[in-house]
Amino acid sequence: MTLELTVVDAFTDRRFAGNPAAVCLLEAFPDDGLMQAVAAEMNLSETAFAVARSSEHADLRWFTPTVEVPLCGHATLAAAHVIGRSVTFHTRSGDLACSISTEGLIEMDFPADPPAPAEPPEGTGLGPVAWFGRGRRYTLAQLESAAAVRTFVPDFPVIAARFGDGLIVTAAGDHAGVDCVSRFFAPNLGVPEDPVTGSAHCTLAPFWAPRLGRRSLLGEQASPRGGTVRMRTAGDRVVLGGRAVSISRVSFLL
């Protein structure tokens, strides 16, 4: 048995930037333990496994190096890029419709996850916080400035103990065309700092849209690799947009 995977840099239009994800197209899902072992071997923030139902529909699952996750943006973008046409993925988070424009922009229809205000716990190392709240999956902390986001030094044991599946730190954008900047940390999922996180923007979009007075936004994830995510709020959904570049192919001999 051979598993063929394509590694894709997602939420970027150039190689060696954005967030890399591995994509494996299959006729049927193998054993869960095998998919988890492959994801651990790839050691990327996510490896996606897709099984086609038809030319326009596929089942999709995502694994970090340590666990299966219910939703992943950049690996969904990568999977749509590898398939190369508009497709609806059937997932643990519902149906995710992806469309590809003639210019190569991929848009994905995801569930929104707006944060509700909460009292920040003590001893988090966040520093001054302008706003704090929690969505269904992630905690969001608005820091005082984009500079504070860019220079934030995460305490991973504290983040793992206090913030469940992940912590988003964010602030208003600090240069033209960028509405917000963010970083994302998920040590409990085996991803200390994720380069570009589509699912985090399901929380960022409904947080920033009313504050900035518009539905369409551009977010910069200020990780060392960096990347940009287009966002458009649509009721209880968020349309995420970005580009992707295939970077390598890997064969597992099993």
Any idea where the domains of the chain sit in the sequence? 2-110+241-253, 116-235
| Full-model pTM | 0.96
- Give the per-residue pLDDT at 198: 98
Band of residue 103 on the pLDDT scale cut at 50, 70, 90:
confident
CATH superfamily, region 2-110+241-253: Diaminopimelate Epimerase; Chain A, domain 1 (3.10.310.10)
Give just the sign of the alpha carbon dihedral 123, 127, 131, 135: negative
Q: How many CB atoms lie within 10 A of CB 156?
A: 14
CATH superfamily, region 116-235: Diaminopimelate Epimerase; Chain A, domain 1 (3.10.310.10)
CA distances from 213 to 130, 174, 201, 205 (A): 18, 17, 17, 11
Average pLDDT, the chain: 97
- Give the per-residue pLDDT at 74: 98
Nearest one of 154, 203, 149, 153 to 172, comparing CA atoms: 149
Active-site residue numbers?
Answer: 46
Beta strands 19-26 and 46-52, pairing class: parallel
225-253 average pLDDT score: 97
Same fold, 2-110+241-253 and 116-235: yes
119-138 average pLDDT score: 94
